[in-house]
Structure 1
């Protein structure tokens, strides 16, 4: 019996990249402590509604705000770099350069291009500079924070050059 196309081994799935830029535990602790301190200041021994309302409002509000700060997702899949809701087809990528703390500071410093697309989180030490090659787009490069900048840069370049 000859093998059919359904018997042929499947092509290996291409490994992508996914990361979420969550907040470190100490920022959660600092945010909740600050909200608790502010609620205590508003309470200051009051009775009635002023005794519990600051805690009921400020503590959940702090948790929602901290969760919102850690919402950014980065992914490389389907020949695209996805950063939150922004999409960049990898065919327009000229190069992807992993940056350490000093490299990120230099790229985002005084000489930074004002047209660059930047998603930077100060609690994430690394970043990737994605240099673009799209004559129709005035954006010269993207700078994206990443905890694993080398892996992200490799995934972008691998998606661009599938061979």
Structure 2
């Protein structure tokens, strides 16, 4: 097994504003616990901020990778030989594929805060998934990495 010609890795991190929301969640918890005293208030501030920050971090920890002969997107791992054409979706088209054009059998790795995406056909007849919808900040690079990995597998 050889390495792909264009390795790719992207982490779909949560936007910066979510960290502010985490802090505001802690402040809200502190205000709720203020009638019980200073120590519960400080505990609410620390605990509320920490829980909200862990939630934001875990939601933003999903990765998309092209490694050797596989595309790994979140929990899904699919060989690049089972993939067809990759279509780069601009924000308007990506929104359409997230909503009224979406197929319920498709694999969707979407993050609403990322406006662009890549739609990749699944050509494996044994797989009922018609396509992969992958939110990505760099759809051109991801499409190129998939093409390069497919070319390396067929060479």
* TM-score normalised by length of structure 1: 0.85
- Where does residue 33 of structure 2 map in the other structure? 43
- Where does residue 132 of structure 1 map in the other structure? 122
* Within-5 A mapping of 1:58-137: 58-137=48-127
**Residues 52-108 of structure 1, C-alpha deviation per residue, up to 9 Å, x if partnerless?**
331232111111111101101111111110112210100011111111111111212
- Where does residue 3 of structure 1 map in the other structure? none
In structure 1, the residue corresponding to 2:61 is in which secondary structure? Answer: coil
- Where does residue 27 of structure 1 map in the other structure? 18
- In 2, the alpha carbon distance for the partners of 1:45 and 1:31 equals 22
- In 1, the alpha carbon distance for the partners of 2:67 and 2:109 equals 18
List 4+ stretches of structure 1 deviating above 3 A. Answer: none
Count of equivalent residues: 152
Structure ranking higher on relative contact order (CA contacts 8 Å, 6+ apart): 2
Cα root mean square deviation, aligned: 2.0
| Structure 1 gaps, min length 5 | 1-10
- In 1, the alpha carbon distance for the partners of 2:4 and 2:134 equals 26
Greater gyration radius: 1
Q: CA deviation at 1:13?
A: 7.5
Q: For the Cα contact (< 8 Å) 2:8–2:145, is it kept in 1?
A: yes
**Residues 124-143 of structure 1, C-alpha deviation per residue, up to 9 Å, x if partnerless?**
11110010101111100000
